């Protein structure tokens, strides 16, 4: 039995001070480890990735897939393509097919500046056909590393699970 000198609840945070050098947190709190996950990187701490606006003439655009929780080994991420942009006519991605592909998020020593991430480069193709604006969606489908499966989307939710690229036609 522990002899606690103080128990203070301040702004929703419980501060405990023990008279001894030992205490068992598990007896009093249910600690839950946050799941490892991959998601698209968004500016700041936003949970929403704005549509990426490009033109056929831009040549390429990049979306970043990150593992903000860090990783002990490389992560293999599978993604799918959707939308009305046509693979091979409106865009292409090295190593991918019309349905999607795989990218590796390399393990790095985790700190706030040096997150584990990978840039997925989308090459935009000028098709010399006036066919209007096209939309490409990239959806993260699954992720795993040596430790097992990771969630996709911020914290395993639908946030930052899909990136949308709007490709404006060039006259």
pLDDT tens for residues 113-139?
A: 556 889 999 999 987 778 889 999 999
Q: Supply the range of the domain harboring residue 45.
A: 37-168
Look at residue 29 and tell me if it is in a domain: no
Look at residue 9 and tell me if it is in a domain: no
More confident residue, 31 or 88: 88
User: Taking Cα atoms as reference points, which of 163, 166, 170 lies closest to residue 66?
Assistant: 163
Residue 56's SS3 state is helix
pLDDT tens for residues 61-96?
A: 999 999 887 778 899 999 999 999 999 999 999 999
CATH number for the domain spanning 53: value is 2.60.40.2030
Q: What's the pLDDT score for residue 156?
A: 85
User: Taking Cα atoms as reference points, which of 128, 126, 104 lies closest to residue 116?
Assistant: 104
pLDDT of residue 2 exceeding 50, the answer is no
Look at residue 108 and tell me if it is in a domain: yes
What total number of domains does the chain contain?
Answer: 1
Q: What is the pTM of this model?
A: 0.76
């Amino acid at each position: 039995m522990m002899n606690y000198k103080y128990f203070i609840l301040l702004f929703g945070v419980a501060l405990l001070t023990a008279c001894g050098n030992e205490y068992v947190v598990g007896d009093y709190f249910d600690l839950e480890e946050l799941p490892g996950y991959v998601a698209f990187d968004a500016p700041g701490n936003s949970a929403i990735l704005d549509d990426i606006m490009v033109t056929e003439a831009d040549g390429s655009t990049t979306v970043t897939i990150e593992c903000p929780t860090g990783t002990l080994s490389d992560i293999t991420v599978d993604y799918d393509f959707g939308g009305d942009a046509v693979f091979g006519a409106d865009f292409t991605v090295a190593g991918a097919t019309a349905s999607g592909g795989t990218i590796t998020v390399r393990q790095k020593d985790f700190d706030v500046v040096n997150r584990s991430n990978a840039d997925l480069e989308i090459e935009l193709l000028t098709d010399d056909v006036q066919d209007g604006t096209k939309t490409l969606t990239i959806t993260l489908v699954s992720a795993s590393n040596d430790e097992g499966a990771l969630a996709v989307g911020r914290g395993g939710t639908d946030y930052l699970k899909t990136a949308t690229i709007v490709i404006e036609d060039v006259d």
